[in-house]
Amino acid sequence: MPFDHNDHYHRTLLRRVPPGCARALDVGCGAGRFARRLAARGIEVDAVDPAAEVIEAARAAGGGPRFLHADITDMELPEGHYDFISCLASIHHVPFATVSRLRSALAPGGVLAILGCYRETPADLAWSLAAVPVNAVARAAVAVRERGQETGVRAPVRPPEMSLAEIRREAAGLLPGARISRLLFWRYLLVHREPA
């Protein structure tokens, strides 16, 4: 089915882009759909992914961002450079402490927005059960609307290792003041604003 949980939250993330944003970094950009949405706003976008095949597909599709085949954990990031940094279902592919490097790359007043995946625990059962019927309806609706369309290259998938409680604990130390909200489709939203 073509329904993509991450794409569903694009507008949620776009609302976190700070006014006057000039430079953005999209970490784990995949085929570049979100990076292109940022670039369409006139933002200079560096879009990074460690999977060569998805970066090739993103470059072939064009659209404005500078697509880089790189691993964010060993990439040289300019300090205080980006007004907005996004991670869509990608931070669980690297050690969570990587958020410290991303925070250092934020300009004063910049925003780090993470749409993340978490390991489910028994405490998450009610949220999961609530998401199942909504997910089924959304998948069916998108399948009907996009029947016959190619889905293209998919970025590699990895199950998350940290629970939402563990993410909250780690974020409290690494990103003081960050807000974390649980979202419906097995995701959370973490937003950190660097002091101006």
* pLDDT value, residue 1: 41
Cα–Cα distances in Å, from 153 out to 30, 98, 135, 150, 172?
Answer: 9, 26, 22, 9, 35
* pLDDT value, residue 169: 97
**Coil, helix or strand at residue 70:** coil
| DSSP secondary structure, 175-194, as one string | STT-EEEEETTTEEEEEEE-
* pLDDT value, residue 133: 52
* pLDDT value, residue 125: 72
Q: Within the chain, which residues score under 70 in pLDDT?
A: 1-5, 126-156
Cα–Cα distances in Å, from 72 out to 23, 35, 88, 121?
Answer: 17, 16, 13, 28
Name residue 163's beta-bridge partners: 119
